[in-house]
Amino acid sequence: MSAASSSPALPYKISVLVFLENRAGELLLMLRAKQPNLGVWSPIGGKLEMDTGESPFQCAVREIGEEVGLTVRESDLHLFAMIAENAYQGHNHWLMFLFHCKLPLEALPPDITEGKFAFWTREQIKTLEIPETDAKALWPIYDRYRDGFVALRADCSVSPIQITIEQVTGAK
């Protein structure tokens, strides 16, 4: 029996996360006011509009515009990771596409209904309340692969979360 077939039957969702910086190199995070990740800091992002056939790049462009008011093109984005999260919080499986935006933010965006924003240094982020999967997988991936590409899966049905790298291109 494969690992996938032994996973619980849960809905599968597809989303993007976008890492944005200001000119000082500080990263923009949102203190989430809604689930998933209510009450913790995370990069901006959202779910693909699958009924319209939206691509991950199109979703990232849309989410950046909606959440921070920055107009970007697909060419302003670098896809650096794809993560398949199995049984995240026991509610869903997620396929996430992680992007780094090459355009810097000039100012802190205003708060939105989904949460409030702040810029943080990479060192400060290590002290914030962030999701376990972000601490174990997302931020180490960002640190190591943001200029290349990595595909991995995270088994969130076990503790500690088990991370398996499936492919790496252009690692530091």
Task: Quick: pLDDT tens for 55-71.
Answer: 999 999 999 999 999 99
Q: What is the pLDDT of residues 88-99, one digit of tens each?
A: 666 778 899 999
pLDDT at 108: 97
Cα-based torsion angle of the residue sequence 133, 118, 145, 82 in order, rounded to the nearest 10 degrees:
50
**Tell me: domain 12-101+110-169, CATH 3.90.79.10, correct?**
yes
- Residue 39 pLDDT > 90: yes
Does residue 85 or residue 130 have the better pLDDT?
Answer: 130
pLDDT at 102: 96
Q: What percent of the chain shows pLDDT beyond 90?
A: 69
For the chain, domain boundaries: 12-101+110-169
Residue 51 gets which letter from DSSP? G
Mean pLDDT, all residues of the chain: 90
Long-range residue pairs from 57-63, CB within 8 A, at least 24 positions apart, any chain: 57/99, 59/15, 59/16, 59/97, 60/16, 60/18, 60/97, 60/99, 60/101, 63/16, 63/18
- Residue 45 pLDDT > 70: yes
pLDDT at 134: 86
What six digits make up the tokens of 22? 């200001």
Q: What is the pLDDT of residues 139-159, one digit of tens each?
A: 999 999 999 999 998 888 888
